[in-house]
Amino acid sequence: MRNIGIVLLASMIVMAMLARTSTYAEAKVGFINLQRLVNESKMGQAARDEFQKMRQDKETVVAAKLREVNELRELINKAGDKMSAQDKRTKLLALQKSNKEYQRLVSDVKEDILREDRQLVSIILQKADGVLKKVAKRLNYTIILKDANVIGYLDPSVDITDEVIKELNRK
């Protein structure tokens, strides 16, 4: 009796595995390269141009602050011996303050740039998601993978990035 139960259980497991195999055989899997989508689509290129302009503006502000710090440092180095102790102390405190402001500015700008980059990519991907679903349905895909890091091998024939970029550029 016990052997019959084991045989029944084993056959149910085999049938379940066969059922899953046939389900997987019907699935059509595709892949989209999100980095290419962001870099090559018109929307992504426009966002990159906007991002680069914002980055240059922020770097200009940082460079101006660095010049201020360097000019103050140079003044202290050149004329420090001729200054009174009080003036030199005042200039050194101003240099320390200016240097701290510069360091804080650099940190804030880096943070702003990273946040802006993530935000632009997020907006592009949100807009592309609808297009991705439309292309996937049109081409009868049941699964679209987005993360290249989890894929050991990818046959180029399942990459639908070009199709999604074309469709996204039409919008």
Domain extent, residue 49, equals 2-170
Predicted confidence band at 147 (pLDDT cuts at 50, 70, 90)? confident
- Both tokens assigned to 105: 């500015």
CA atoms within 13 A on the CB side of 152: 0
Instruction: Convert the pLDDT of each residue in 42-89 to its tens digit.
Output: 999 999 999 999 999 999 999 999 999 999 999 989 987 888 889 889
Confidence check: pLDDT of 142 > 80: yes
Q: How confident is the model at residue 7 (pLDDT cuts 50, 70, 90)?
A: very low
37 vs 164: CA distance, rounded Å? 8
Q: How many CB atoms lie within 10 A of CB 108?
A: 12
Contact 136, 30 (CB under 8 A): yes
Share of the chain above pLDDT 70, in %: 85
Split into its structural domains, the chain has a count of 1
